Structure 1
Amino acid sequence: MWSCVRSNETDDSSDQQVCQDLGLILSLSSLFYLIVCFPIGLCYNALLVTVNLCNKVSMTMPDVYFVNIAIAGLVLNMVAPMQLLGPGYTHWAMWDFNNEVYITLLILFNISSLVIMYSTTLLSLDYYIERALPRTYMSSVYNTKHVCGFIWGGAVLTSFSSLLFYVCNHVSTKIIECSKMQNKEAADAIMIFIGYVVPAIAVFYALVLILRIRKESTPLDQDSGRLDPSVHRLLLVSVGVQFALWTPYYATLLVHMLSGIQGRHLHGQHLRMYYFVRGLSKLLAFSSSFAMPLMYRHMNKSFSPKLRRLLNKLHCGKQGCSQERSPEQQVVT
């Protein structure tokens, strides 16, 4: 939900009409996301995590990273309704949050974005290692689980370091030590560099290395422990979609940072357009929690059989289904 930004300048009717049209577009897009994309993304993220954790033995290295991305997507799903219906988009009294709630939502959003971007980056790097150095177990499931733990820890530390500037910007009148840290542009610069520039460079380097590997068939391709060829397509699509959905958000942070550094704050029509683009970019960022599990569901060949086995197990209970026992009994006979 989005309302027009009031300016000290006298706005003519045409500017107000454009502002209302932009607000209507963003409001309808937000409603569509909350009604359609939000429940689907929440359901598929939960299924992705549940199915893989119930089949830990058959999990591969990409599965661990996608489970990590799905958990971060669940966190985004919790933040999305409060952000899209929050005080930044509507003036409802029931959504009049205080600074503590705003800062908490910002922490969760930043942590989720960092986990998603770095999980995607390390997935591409580990996939290159798997292709270039098979049987070395450098990109094994065991190592990947520990790497994901470091990703969450690093995301928490990084988000808090940048969040310190936001906190001081809100409570600077209460704490004397924060008087020298009222710089929101520094927090944006930290998030842009660590959350986007570094992962983008690493992903580009990994994709260049992957594309340089020759696609000639070798005896190692017949190894049952080798990754499925469909993972290559899933990797390329997921990396492209993630950066396509998150680039506008970091671009708005860059615009805000540069305008603050140069002292040229946006006014009038430019300010309204900036708020519209920022709201739309946040909506696209939230959409990553909807797009990723759907791609994993349709492009990973092993997910559907695992899901059917899990549903059959839940339906039959501990005793097991007779349809599952009959083939085994026939083989024994």
Structure 2
Amino acid sequence: MVVLFPLGLVGNVLILLVNSDPRQRASNPDVYFTNLALADLVLVLDSLIEVFNLSAHYYDNALLCTCMALFLQVHMYSSVFFLTWMSLDRCVALTGLSPRAMHADGSAARRVCTAIWAAAIACTLLPFAAAHARHGWGRGFCFAGMAEVQWLEVTLGFAVPFCVMGVCYSLIGRVLLRSERPRRAKALRMIVTTVGVFFACWLPENVFISTHLLSGTAEPLRRRRNGTLWQQYPLLGHVVTLAACANSCLNPLVYGLLGQTFRRKLKLFLEHHVHCLHMQPPHVTHMRLHAR
């Protein structure tokens, strides 16, 4: 994480700055990518918390565990949902399954983003409310340790998105195989990288959770002391969580810096701001020197 954290922090901040530049027109993918960067930025910052929290054991504190889980699950779901939607949107666009007008309408992209954030919040708050309605608000209870919540996380947060992404990129690959060779080779490398990074980053945590669930030890924390796999194996739990957060560190590289469109916009953004610095009015420079 020593390398990935600054890469993810700088990369996601750059995406937010470049795509929020009013001088450049934002396409639908730019809108999705900006929202993905926002969700990823939170997960990148959480990776720093995980590094320094190895000895703090916040999982033992029910209130802190619940607050952290609520906050992180919203952004985890939103990040994965945006990745899934971007794959689906790219598939539909390249295979010609939707009218072109749909992709030209910026308001449609904003509505999709609103729906994705709402779905991420619902996938977090509904299980949270159901867990507390069933088990109460007793001290020592963290809803993140519930088997139902964890099954939902494995299913909606990994299995379903990975299947959707796999189908979408398989269809895209078939289209690209019939296209010209230069475009095909580059795009296929992008597909393999995208699916590979998502799978490699999220698989360890989901195997970790699934092992916990299949062993039948997922029970409310107030019923058993040291009941969660994270409490039994804290170091391994932190490692797999950091691996999942690494996906948010690598997304800017995979989706942004490797893409020609974003590289072009980034170049224009940097050139404009460097030009503005060189074109600073002389009286401003004189005032700053005088102030010193």
**Does the TM-score normalized on the shorter chain lie above 0.5?**
yes
1:185 maps to: 147
> Is the contact between residue 51 and residue 307 of structure 1 (CA under 8 Å) also seen in structure 2?
yes
> Which AA in structure 1 matches 2:13?
A
Distance 2:239 2:144 in 1: 27
Question: Conserved in 2, the CA contact under 8 Å of 1:62 and 1:123?
Answer: yes
223, 233, 239: which one aligns with 1:280: 239
Shift of 1:136: 2.5
Structure 2 CA distance for partners of 1:302 and 1:255, relative to 1, 3 Å: same
Distance, in Å, in 2 between the alignment partners of 1:209 and 1:132 is 8
Structure 2 residue 100 is the aligned partner of structure 1 residue 136: yes
- Superposed CA deviations along residues 58-107 of structure 1, whole A, max 9, x for unmatched, are 43343333222211111112322223322xx2049xx7985333222212
Alignment correspondent of 1:300: 259
CA drift at 1:187: 1.1
1:140–1:254: structure 2 CA closer, same or farther, 3 Å change rule? Answer: farther
Number of residue pairs aligned between Structure 1 and Structure 2? 268
Match of 2:202 in 1: 246
Deviation at 1:140, TM superposition (A): 4.1
Q: Given the superposition, is the C-alpha separation of residues 52 and 201 from structure 1 closer, same or farther in structure 2, using an over 3 Å criterion?
A: same
Aligned partner of 1:156 in structure 2 is 121
CA contact (8 A) 2:62 2:139 kept: no
CA contact (8 A) 2:8 2:250 kept: yes
Shift of 1:274: 4.7
8 Å CA contact 2:7–2:249 kept in 1: the answer is: yes
CA distance in 2, matches of 1:205, 1:147: 21
* Residue 83 of structure 2: aligned partner: 120
Q: Give distance in 2, aligned partners of 1:236 and 1:271.
A: 32
Could you tell me how far apart the structure 1 residues matched to 2:59 and 2:193 are?
A: 39
Residue identity opposite 2:247 in structure 1? S
Q: What SS is found at the alignment partner of 1:137?
A: helix
Give the equivalent residue in structure 2 for 1:12. none
**Cα separation, 1, equivalents of 2:113 and 2:187:** 19
Answer whether contact 1:42 1:290 (CA < 8 A) is retained: yes
Question: Partners of 2:116 and 2:33 in 1: how far apart?
Answer: 13
Q: Does 2:7 align with 1:48?
A: no
| Alignment partner of 2:212 out of 252, 256, 264 | 256
CA distance in 2, matches of 1:104, 1:56: 39
Q: What is the identity percentage for the equivalent residue pairs of Structure 1 and Structure 2?
A: 23
Distance in 1 (CA, whole Å) between partners of 2:144 and 2:267 is: 54
Q: CA shift at 1:240, angstroms?
A: 2.4
Q: CA RMSD in A?
A: 3.8
Q: Counterpart of 1:117 in 2: which secondary structure?
A: helix
> Which segment is superposed worse, 310-319 or 143-152?
310-319
Write the distance in 2 (CA, Å) between the matches of 1:146 and 1:194. Answer: 21
Q: Which amino acid aligns with 1:104?
A: C
Alpha-carbon contact 1:75-1:108 (below 8 Å) kept: no
CA-to-partner distance for each residue in 1:138-194, whole Å, 9 max, x for gaps?
34462233212211111011111233466579964369xx9xx99711111121122
In the alignment, the residues of structure 2 paired with residue 313 and residue 278 of structure 1 have an alpha-carbon distance, to the nearest angstrom, of 44
Bigger mean CA offset, 181-190 vs 195-204: 181-190
The AA in structure 1 aligned to 2:205 is: Y
Where does residue 204 of structure 1 map in the other structure? 166
Matches within 5 A, 1:291-330: 291-317=250-276
Structure 1: state its 5+ residue gaps: 1-32, 219-226, 322-333
The structure with the larger Rg is: 1
1:145 aligns to what? 110
TM-score by length of 1: 0.67
Deviates more, 1:160-169 or 1:188-197: 160-169
